[in-house]
Structure 1
């Protein structure tokens, strides 16, 4: 159910071939370039035919790619071909002019050929390391719709600006069960409503983590499985809601694979952009707000800052739940009116968003369940939780913050409802978001679970937890969770 199905990107030839991360034209250009290099080493009779065929294929590919947009991963391929071109064409041109063909000694030509092949080979490797992400096919019975809303809280000033009239505004993306769209329906972009927004957010994310923007230029090209403004699924059933807060500098779409999977199973996911915290937030009026919040690297300072950051985020989450209730009651005209079951609501988050979810649940009992995706709890008062909680954590190593697990364990032990901590072997901090789909599989950053297993694990464990806590399905939750890692269950009243 989680097999990746190739889909067109932007309706262009940047379609991704499963496992290779290259388009058909890109795949065609690579053997064309290799053939130009190899032609010099073929028998004399075969050289002209191979050179002409390879040159034609490469020229056609380069022309079309230049029109639709050449990805940087193809530059070494084209460079290697360009370096090999003179030696490949020279014998043909000399024959046409009647001049005797000249060939360099093999021991002189061999280093150049090897260098060209090496250059060409870096193209597929780079495309594999930094692909256009291809999202897992949602496995539920519903198609998935998505749209973006913007809400301003008139009662809460914006503390990140000096303007006393400025009020806190959040941008929220909704993924919801939808009717099946026509086969040709345009799929939603990954990082934004428009190409400009997607590239703005991609560039901001790259700057936030210190990467050159061109390395991840495939990310804003990606299309998801959702359709913008698709009609809500038929019937009169009401859908539980799941709110999501991203990591520090993260954005509302950072867990799209997870959100689409939940929506396909009948949940409405509402993911927040927190202005001045998210890497970039594009508002309805076109303004872009970039992050002001950043980690200092000093654990003690970050602890104090984190308390304030999570307090703002927790207030955002409660405000959005209120707005969803108003939307469901029809106070604002909306296709989801009457379809949201805000009486069954979960609050979730990744990293600091997970800590914010814990904080929001402490102060807002309307949340019925909590999911913390490798997030550090910041609340200094240690007020108890009263909702079932699932905490997914990365594999614990000597580099793990020594305060993290003790603090998290204390929170879970003092919960008045049953809590679960699942430590996932082979997981790293970014395992719990979409990053494994488009970043190089470096174990220390993304873990060792792979591009397919990482999103599957997050979706399978959280979906089982939500079905048990919000839908009260008698699933063997502990058995499901245990299949993915080391599970600890904390029952109310057992604080040992």
Structure 2
């Protein structure tokens, strides 16, 4: 355990939590002629999967607009002191709940306590999660683990679009390629500027989501052995996918009801995937702190798709000082107008709520690992207990998932009424 950090707490749900790291080669795609200053293609899709701490340190140095040896070293040292050996409280490469483990595979003492089925019968709901700018998928491990402990299969994508601090792409031929953060000043674009780069990165993320769904479908069809054999991640995980006939996973994922979710820039991406014509028709969406610097929000939503937009209190409180947002008086107004439009014109069921006592970082592991950062003098008056903040976001997401899964009237009423944990700005009419 790092010198200055706290361990992540256990999960509160009734299901045990496991984790598998997968990095699977896909057909390479280039999304534009954009190139870095050294001539390398800026964004190219090679594999679907966080990088070494030294790489993350270099990436965060770039976010600080410097890449000197001294600054990189300081960033790396700080990361090591505060989070260097923090572990996620989940079993590695264990079978899906209700499945016997293959011989010699690591497993829990009791991999299927209490039965063999997920909350939806024999199949488990699936959530695909997109991380925010300057983040990695592991920054959200506790929030995502909470959702998993409540009976969901959660897939967190490690985006390689240059928006994160850094990541290593492991190719099928054994070579590796480093993707590190870059900004608009580091890329030669046909139409230069931040907005053009954001559009390019969102398009790249959309493709990563498509590849993710494709891999999940392969696993669900009982071809987990193929995915396991294709895994280029150094961990070598995925053996539990290769049980004869895909036994643990075949037919166990409810691919007809996949939910897309994201935080900040990832929430903007998730909203993009709800447009008509996107190759994947998601069942619903969970959008946390929709991006304020991600460009205009997609307002062309596929008719009938439910969503919940949950902002932290600090994200909402900024509405009075932010100013105009792409034609709206503020970001808050743009989100409110979007949700009302979905409920009015698209025959959807959309909520817009503020989760009280939370900040933009509350959904991440940062405040759990370093509670000192929860101090109000650092993050402002909206800051509450770190663990309570994650729990609130997990609860509002779970209530939405409960309503989405079986039309739970109680969940609908809970989401639509102000309470201790959240304030409702817009709610749909119950039909």
TM-score, normalised to structure 1's length? 0.61
1:79-90 correspondence runs (5 A): none
Q: For 1:470, what is the secondary structure of its paired residue?
A: helix
1:409-424 correspondence runs (5 A): 409-415=336-342, 416=346, 417-424=348-355
1:213-252 correspondence runs (5 A): 213-217=76-80, 218-234=82-98, 235=116, 237-252=122-137
Q: Is the aligned partner of 1:138 residue 2:60? A: no
Larger CA Rg, structure 1 vs 2 = 1
Moved more, 273-282 or 199-208: 199-208
Deviation at 1:138, TM superposition (A): 1.1
Q: What CA distance in whole angstroms lies between the structure 2 residues aligned with 1:295 and 1:258?
A: 34
1:65-464 correspondence runs (5 A): 71=3, 131-154=4-27, 156-157=29-30, 159=32, 168-172=45-49, 197-200=51-54, 202-204=56-58, 206-207=60-61, 210=64, 212-217=75-80, 218-234=82-98, 235=116, 237-275=122-160, 276-284=162-170, 285-293=175-183, 302-333=194-225, 334=241, 335-362=248-275, 363-376=278-291, 378=295, 382-386=299-303, 387-393=305-311, 394-397=315-318, 398-400=320-322, 402-403=324-325, 404-415=331-342, 416=346, 417-439=348-370, 440-443=373-376, 445=379, 447-464=382-399
The structure richer in helix per residue is 1
Deviation at 1:419, TM superposition (A): 0.8
Structure with the larger RCO, 1 or 2 (CA within 8 Å, 6+ apart): 2
Deviation at 1:365, TM superposition (A): 5.0
Q: What CA distance in whole angstroms lies between the structure 1 residues aligned with 2:310 and 2:140?
A: 15
Q: What CA distance in whole angstroms lies between the structure 2 residues aligned with 1:367 and 1:445?
A: 34
Deviation at 1:380, TM superposition (A): 6.5
Deviation at 1:478, TM superposition (A): 3.9
RMSD of aligned C-alpha atoms?
3.1
Q: What CA distance in whole angstroms lies between the structure 2 residues aligned with 1:364 and 1:379?
A: 21
Q: What CA distance in whole angstroms lies between the structure 2 residues aligned with 1:374 and 1:311?
A: 20
Query: Is the CA contact 1:359–1:379 (under 8 Å) kept in the aligned structure 2?
Result: no
Deviation at 1:392, TM superposition (A): 1.3
Q: For 2:84, what is the secondary structure of its paired residue?
A: helix
The counterpart of 2:410, out of the listed 468, 475, 478, is: 475
Q: For each residue in 1:408-445, what CA deviation from the matched residue of structure 2 results, as whole angstroms up to 9, or x when unmatched?
A: 22322222211111123343222232222234224464
Moved more, 427-436 or 254-263: 427-436
TM-score, normalised to structure 2's length? 0.70
Q: For 1:370, what is the secondary structure of its paired residue?
A: strand
Q: What CA distance in whole angstroms lies between the structure 2 residues aligned with 1:264 and 1:138?
A: 6
How many residues are aligned here? Answer: 340
Q: Give the aligned partner of residue 486 of structure 1.
A: 423
Q: What CA distance in whole angstroms lies between the structure 2 residues aligned with 1:309 and 1:492?
A: 36
Query: Is the CA contact 2:129–2:155 (under 8 Å) kept in the aligned structure 1?
Result: yes
Q: What CA distance in whole angstroms lies between the structure 2 residues aligned with 1:441 and 1:354?
A: 23
